Homo-oligomer: A and B are copies of this chain.
Amino acid sequence: MKTVGIIGLGLIGGSMAIDLRRRRFAEELIGVDSEPVNAAAAVRIGLVDEIVSFEECVRRSDLIVLAVPVGTAAGMLPGILDRFAVAEDGARKIVIDVCSAKEALVRAVKNHPMRSRYVSTHPMAGTEYSGPWAAVPGLFDGRACIICNRGESDPDAAAAVENLYDVLNMRQIDMDASNHDVHTAYVSHISHITSFALALTVLDKEKNEKHIFDLASGGFSSTVRLAKSSADMWVPIFSQNRDNVVKVIDTYLERMKDFRNAIADGDEDSVRSLIEEANRIKRIIR
């Protein structure tokens, strides 16, 4: 591919830039970031060759990676397709997003005349850090990437994106956008909320008990790790996937109350059953 444009040079966009360059997927990498500090850092670190305007990025890129928070992506995607519609080579250009909630995004461009130049993707990789400084090589290796509603994209666009994720060493899974949003609510979004709530619980206590964190065990650190995740990314995810997320939280609250009541009642048999049931996760997560 000649020119890849990356809009949003954070953890995901930046990490993608690193691997697309060193694995020679792109001859040229150009980038856009609304934060001047991030943009300057992305060039200095060498993530992209050049920082350009949004307009120039859309004009020059053969493939655009939209790697901004999902609310922003939903705002920008129709505008990108509008520009494809009037560009001479618009019918050969491709745009993908990499967001963690997909249904609203897919719905936003459902009837756009250039819809078929968009491929909806979710590379399931990340860390709790953000910004161009958080970008790392190999972030995507071996992880799952979900391609949503592939049939709504042109075959050549889908094939180019398949090649891109092959280069990133990702396992590709096809899924309907609305199924995607149910599943990620369970295996990703709820984990973040439980971590945020855990951090709030413990921080509240810590106001009065300064040395409580001397005791933070490895277990606490791993459970609370995601609570470092950025509000800019997660606020729009929870908004766009609201119905699914609320449903999962409600189920979770029920399970938490089962534990609470069994412990409060001194009902050791029920506590044991709950733990042994939870232990079945061993079968699935190594």
Contacts and interface: CB of A to CB of B under 8 A. Distances in A.
Interface in A221-247: 221-231, 234-236, 238-239, 242, 245-246
A101 B231 CA distance: 36
A153 interface: no
Interface string A260-286: 100110101001101111111110110
Judged by DSSP, the binding face of A is helix
Given A186-B212, A219-B226, A203 B278 contact: yes
Interface stretch (A10-18, A45-53, A250-258): A250-258
A55 interface: no
Given A228-B282, A252-B256, A268-B235, A215 B277 contact: no
Interface in A179-195: 182-184, 186-188, 190-195
Chain A interface extent, by class: 35 or more
A217 B123 CA distance: 10
A218 interface: yes
Nearest to A222: B222
A111 interface: no
A104 interface: no
Contact of A186 (B205, B228, B250, B285): B205
Contacts of A201: 186, 190, 248, 251-252, 255
A191 B266 contact: no
- Report how many copies the assembly holds: 2
A203 B220 CA distance: 22
A256 B253 contact: yes
A48 to B, nearest CB: 25
Contact of A278 (B199, B206, B235, B279): B199
A188 B285 contact: no
A87 interface: no
Given A223-B194, A242-B266, A255 B215 contact: no
A204 interface: yes
Contacts of A274: 196, 200
B173 A203 contact: no
A275 B221 contact: no
A275 B218 contact: no
Contacts of A193: 256, 259
Nearest to A226: B219
A144 B214 contact: yes
A279 B198 contact: no
Contacts of A160: none
Interface of A: 124-128, 143-144, 146, 171, 173, 182-184, 186-188, 190-206, 209, 211-231, 234-236, 238-239, 242, 245-246, 248-253, 255-260, 263-264, 266, 268, 271-272, 274-282, 284-285
